[in-house]
């Protein structure tokens, strides 16, 4: 919404949207809602605000998925590990501390099309899930390419 702030968006999500979702679920209007998802990035939605939204979603029984550290390292991996995220996408700028925090967690990564530094997270025991959606900025046409990710 034009003229609004990150904080006002988070307030809207936590105080109006998620309660409306909870009501729709209890009224039987939503049957297949399983996840809450957000984009966590510097100057978009910061870590603490993402955490607030994810924790409110968890209270509704939603699994946490989010996109973090695509452009900068802001501690998203550490936060995701701490709150028990099911999956985190991107993480092109994950730190050594983030890798340690993610050890034994599952996350998705879609950095193949970006000339970012490769981080061998699998060396630390982080479970890497390979798959693809048809994301306009990071699409692929063949699963063998996906199978190559994070394994070199």
Report yes or no: 99 and 77 within 8 Å, Cβ to Cβ.
Answer: yes
The CATH number of 6-148, from 1.10.3210.10, 3.90.78.10, 3.20.20.140, 3.40.50.970, is: 3.20.20.140
d(CA 115, CA 100): 23
Four-CA torsion 124, 130, 134, 138, nearest 10 degrees: 30
Higher pLDDT, 94 or 62: 62
Six-digit token string for 100: 């340690």
The least confident of 47-56, 94-103, 118-127 is: 118-127
Report yes or no: 50 and 40 within 8 Å, Cβ to Cβ.
Answer: yes
* pLDDT score at 27: 95
Tens of pLDDT, residues 100-143? 888 756 544 444 443 345 556 656 666 666 665 666 666 667 77
Higher pLDDT, 6 or 115: 6
Residue 142 CA neighbour count, 13 Å, CB half: 3
Question: What is the average pLDDT value for the chain, to the nearest integer?
Answer: 81
- Pairing status of strand 106-107 against strand 127-128: parallel
């Amino acid at each position: 919404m034009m003229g609004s702030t990150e904080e006002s968006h988070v307030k809207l999500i936590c105080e109006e949207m998620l309660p409306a979702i909870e009501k729709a679920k209890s009224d039987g209007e939503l049957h297949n809602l399983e996840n809450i998802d957000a984009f966590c990035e510097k100057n978009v939605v910061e870590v603490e605000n993402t955490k607030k939204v994810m924790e409110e979603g968890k209270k509704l029984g939603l699994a946490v998925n989010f996109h973090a550290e695509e452009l900068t390292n802001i501690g998203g991996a550490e936060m995701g590990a701490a709150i028990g995220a099911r999956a985190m996408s991107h993480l092109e700028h994950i730190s050594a501390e983030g890798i340690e925090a993610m050890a034994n967690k599952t996350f998705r990564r879609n950095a193949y099309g970006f000339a970012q530094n490769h981080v061998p997270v699998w060396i630390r025991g982080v479970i890497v899930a390979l798959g693809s959606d048809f994301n306009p900025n990071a699409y692929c046409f063949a699963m063998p390419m996906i199978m190559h990710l994070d394994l070199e």
